[in-house]
């Protein structure tokens, strides 16, 4: 809709006026930030002068303690308000750049017309008038949900109704209106076109100005315990999830902190890719992790989890014998029945069969595993598991104290005492002074000195044992898990899928061998940790209020069940696309199994069908790679046809990529060459790096690099690039039907240009794509 020139001038005047006020406030705030900063520095500098330190009498010690605490509190209060004020300055700076992106005119019956301007944060003038409303304020919801005409929105005091007489969108940069549209639609396409036509960045941007109606449902849902979003590639799942976090932090600002929200993302690159969205909206980032990292932290140093890289490479490089048996093992160990079997088994061993370790010292058994087992079973099953283990640990520690005493007289202690050098001796001596009320205590007899030193030596050696006991390391979890694997058919509520006994024994053998190397397969991670948690009674994370899981289609049922177990009181938001499965757990009815697993009554399902990331020709092409991709809706954005380039050999592939990538890089800093596996990428890198400036992204990389990058499919998950080139999508390279979703995921990373290169005949997965949807180039 055309907007009259006068009106444009009027609006620009209002922008100028708002920016002016924002800048003035920023200046004032900056001055007070400096003041608070100076105060904090002063307190820190004079910390010890301003506290009363006197340790003569117990009363003085208490007073000193209080004085230090008060001073520390004062300091942290100042530092907090400094941090807070600095955040506000940053928000004001962003508002000065672009104060708002929308205006709606709203009229309630018998009330004057209100002009509501909406931006990334609210801005109030000295007369307490809202010059800008936060996009999350209740009234702003009309902008996202409604079209001009009768509208209503919910406030904490109930519904308000009225008429929206105007809906206007702005694109403002550096205080200048660059574009302005009046729209009769929910969110006008012109604005969206503007946004989507922009170039990719190494960081994701926020979408507050153009949130779509169905995305808004995800963002503003404050009620559901389980919110499940099934959305096509590029439909804005991740974007909506992040805006949702910002919304929740605003809506529940008195009761919800960013640390009480955790997001599980597919890999570390993705973590950094999304890390700026919330800070840009003036919010702190939630906790962010990958399932692997999270699990590794629960596992501790005893085992190292198979990396993302190994997991994928082992499976896709079919020449590895491992690929064959693992597919089935992964399916089984990731099933809910298997997870349930862990629980039944754990209940069973509460009565009999728990495995312990001897507590050994200097090659001898101090407390035998049988003794520990006896001790454990002496506490009946009426004790809760955490209590029972706690009591066992206490009893072991008590026994250790007695044994330590006995050790003091042993020969090895004498021998060590003789070997003590002056340094060690002094250390022991100083230690003897610790906690002593009278300073300057002396070893007044040789025996006393000897006795003391002996005790010190034994204590030092026993400290490690005590630590292990406190961490329940007397439980032999590894053997227990192996025992479980052997007995699992007895605990499953359905037969072991297609396994024959000897096949199952082979899997157990492989698992054991791997664990002997202190490694653990990804599919063993959940059953192993869960078994450990049930046996030790480890607590789950009850304080987490929201758990977000992105790329849910790559989670097994067991992983999901485990997350539910870990976060029993959390609300879950899950985002996924069954068409982007790359690990192939084969969950066809992902949604059904999730709802069943989570057992949620208040479950909400939102489907996002429209794909925004790519140009229309790219989406049309990628949609055809899928069987049953009809559900995906195209967003009208012009662009070139994708190119399928057939080259005769690998050397010509390298030549072509080098040439094309150089061309593309001239107009964009975001060019990605995506290979199926890392092995393939490394191979290409060896040649390409001689011809052009290129970065190979590996598992260790935690940040996306600008320019031309080379990365394997599983690291490209969730990311997007202006231009994408797919490495060798040939008939030989993509043979299996199950790789359809993998190829789809890779191709859908492209925003503006897509090149699929094939050495020889392209994969059959492209057979159904109509010829007119791409340009075929034979080299």
Ligand X SMILES: Nc1ncnc2c1ncn2[C@@H]1O[C@H](COP(=O)(O)OP(=O)(O)OP(=O)(O)O)[C@@H](O)[C@H]1O
Binding residues: 231-238
- Residue reference for tokens 């906690």: 435
Nearer to ligand X, 416 or 577 (CB): 577
Instruction: Using CB under 6 A, list all residues that contact ligand X.
Output: 192, 195-196, 205, 207, 210-212, 215, 231, 233-239, 577, 580, 612-613, 718, 720, 748
Neighbours of 588 (CB within 10 A): 9
List the one residue out of 468, 595, 573, 480 whose CA is nearest residue 530: 480
Q: How far is the CB of 690 from ligand X (least distance, A)?
A: 32
Main-chain phi, psi angles of 476, to 5 degrees: -95, 80
**What distance in Å separates the CA atoms of residue 354 and residue 535, rounded to the nearest whole number?**
9
Q: Whole-number minimum distance, CB 116 to ligand X, in Å?
A: 20
Annotated binding site for ATP: 231-238
Three-state secondary structure string covering 408-436 = CCCHHHHHHHHHCCHHHHHHHHHHHHCCC
CB 613 within 8 A of CB 237: no
Q: Are 231 and 632 in contact (CB under 8 A)?
A: no
Q: Which is nearer to ligand X, 196 or 396 (CB)?
A: 196
Q: Distance between CA atoms of 337 and 376, rounded to whole angstroms?
A: 29
Closest CB 240 distance from ligand X, rounded Å: 7
Q: Which is nearer to ligand X, 406 or 703 (CB)?
A: 703
Looking at the Cβ atoms of 239 and 272, the one nearer to ligand X is: 239
Residue 247 CB, nearest approach to ligand X (Å): 14
Q: Which residue is nearest to ligand X (CB)?
A: 236
End-to-end CA distance of the chain: 47
CB within 8 Å of 49: residues ≥ 6 apart = none
Are 773 and 658 contacting, i.e. CB atoms less than 8 angstroms apart?
Answer: no
Q: ∠304-580-229 over CA atoms, to 5°?
A: 100
- Least Å distance, CB 184 to ligand X, is 18
Residue 18 vs 212, nearer CB to ligand X: 212
In the complex, the smallest distance separating the C-beta of residue 67 from ligand X, rounded to whole angstroms, is 52
Q: What's the Cα-to-Cα distance from 121 to each of 29, 88, 172, 282, rounded to whole Å?
A: 16, 10, 15, 8
Q: Which is nearer to ligand X, 306 or 577 (CB)?
A: 577
Stated as kind and residue range, the H or E segment containing 519 is strand 519-520
CB of 741 to ligand X, least distance (A): 12
Could you give the residue ranges of the DSSP H alpha helices within 119-164?
141-145
- Residue 605 — φ and ψ, nearest 5°? -115, 125
Order across the sheet with 643-647: list the strands. Answer: 695-696, 707-712, 670-675, 721-726, 750-759, 643-647, 775-778
674 in Cβ contact with 725 (< 8 Å) = yes
Cβ at position 208, least distance to ligand X in Å: 9
């Amino acid at each position: 809709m055309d907007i009259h020139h006068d009106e444009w001038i009027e609006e620009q005047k209002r922008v100028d006026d708002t920016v002016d006020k924002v800048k003035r406030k920023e200046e004032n705030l900056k001055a007070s930030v400096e003041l608070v900063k100076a105060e904090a520095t002063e307190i820190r500098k004079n910390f010890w002068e301003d506290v009363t330190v006197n340790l003569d009498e117990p009363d003085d010690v208490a007073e000193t303690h209080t004085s230090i605490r008060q001073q520390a509190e004062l300091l942290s209060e100042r530092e907090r308000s400094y941090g807070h004020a600095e955040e506000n300055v940053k928000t004001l700076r962003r508002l000065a750049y672009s104060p708002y992106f929308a205006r709606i005119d709203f009229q309630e019956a018998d009330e004057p017309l209100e002009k509501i301007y909406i931006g990334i944060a609210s801005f109030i003038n000295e007369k307490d008038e809202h010059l800008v409303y936060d996009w999350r304020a209740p009234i702003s919801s009309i902008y996202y949900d409604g079209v001009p005409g009768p509208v209503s929105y919910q406030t904490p005091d109930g519904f308000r109704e009225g008429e929206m007489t105007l809906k206007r969108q702005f694109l403002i940069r550096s205080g200048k209106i660059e574009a302005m549209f009046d729209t009769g639609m929910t969110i006008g396409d012109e604005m969206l076109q503007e946004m989507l036509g922009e170039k990719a960045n190494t960081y994701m941007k926020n979408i507050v100005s153009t949130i779509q109606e169905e995305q808004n449902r995800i963002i503003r849902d404050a009620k559901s315990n389980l919110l499940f979003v099934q959305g096509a590639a590029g439909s804005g799942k991740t974007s909506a999830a992040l805006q949702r976090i910002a919304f929740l932090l605003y809506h529940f600002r008195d009761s919800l902190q960013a640390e009480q929200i955790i997001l599980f993302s597919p890999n570390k690159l993705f973590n950094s890719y999304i890390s700026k969205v919330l800070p840009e909206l003036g919010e702190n980032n939630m906790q962010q992790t990958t399932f692997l990292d999270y699990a590794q932290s629960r596992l501790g140093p005893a085992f190292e989890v198979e990396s993302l890289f190994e997991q994928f490479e082992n499976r896709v490089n079919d020449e590895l014998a491992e690929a064959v048996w693992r597919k089935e093992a992964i399916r089984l160990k990731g099933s809910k029945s298997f997870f349930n079997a862990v629980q039944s088994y754990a209940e069973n061993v509460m009565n009999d069969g728990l495995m312990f370790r001897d507590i050994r010292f200097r090659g001898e058994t101090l407390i035998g595993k049988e003794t520990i087992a006896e001790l454990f079973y002496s506490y009946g099953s009426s004790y809760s598991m955490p209590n029972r283990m706690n009591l066992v640990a206490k009893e072991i520690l008590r026994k250790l104290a007695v044994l330590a005493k006995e050790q003091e007289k042993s020969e090895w202690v004498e021998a060590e005492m003789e070997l003590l050098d002056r340094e060690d001796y002094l250390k022991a001596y100083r230690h003897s002074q610790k906690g002593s009320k009278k300073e300057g205590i002396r070893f007044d007899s040789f025996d006393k000195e000897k006795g003391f030193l002996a005790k010190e030596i034994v204590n030092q050696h026993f400290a490690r044992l005590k630590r292990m006991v406190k961490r329940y390391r007397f439980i032999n979890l590894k053997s227990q898990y192996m025992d479980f694997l052997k007995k699992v058919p007895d605990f499953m509520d359905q037969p072991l899928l297609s396994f024959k006994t000897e096949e199952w024994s082979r899997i157990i053998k492989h698992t054991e061998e791997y664990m002997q190397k202190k490694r653990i397969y990804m599919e063993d991670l959940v059953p192993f940790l869960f078994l450990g948690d049930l046996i030790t009674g480890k607590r789950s994370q009850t304080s987490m209020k929201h758990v977000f899981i992105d790329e849910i289609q790559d989670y097994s049922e067991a992983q999901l069940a485990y997350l539910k177990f870990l976060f029993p009181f959390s609300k879950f938001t899950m985002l996924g696309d069954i068409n982007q499965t790359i690990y192939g757990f084969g969950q066809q009815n992902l949604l059904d199994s999730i709802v069943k697993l989570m057992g949620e009554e208040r479950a909400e399902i939102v489907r996002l069908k429209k794909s925004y990331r790519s140009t229309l020709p790219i989406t049309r092409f990628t949609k055809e790679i899928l069987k049953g991709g009809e559900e995906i809706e195209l967003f009208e954005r012009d662009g070139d046809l994708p190119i399928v380039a057939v080259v005769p050999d690998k050397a010509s592939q390298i030549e072509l990529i080098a040439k094309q990538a150089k061309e593309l890089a001239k107009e964009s800093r975001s060019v990605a060459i995506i290979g199926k596996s890392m092995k393939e990428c490394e191979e290409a890198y060896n040649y390409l790096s001689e011809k052009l400036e290129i970065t190979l992204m590996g598992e260790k990389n935690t940040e996306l690099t600008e320019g031309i990058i080379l990365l394997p499919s599983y690291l490209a998950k969730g990311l997007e690039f202006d231009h994408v080139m797919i490495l060798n999508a040939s008939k030989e390279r993509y043979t299996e039907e199950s790789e359809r979703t993998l190829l789809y995921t890779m191709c859908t990373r492209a925003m503006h240009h897509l090149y699929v290169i094939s050495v020889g005949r392209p994969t059959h997965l492209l057979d159904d794509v109509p010829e007119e949807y791409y340009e075929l180039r034979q080299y």
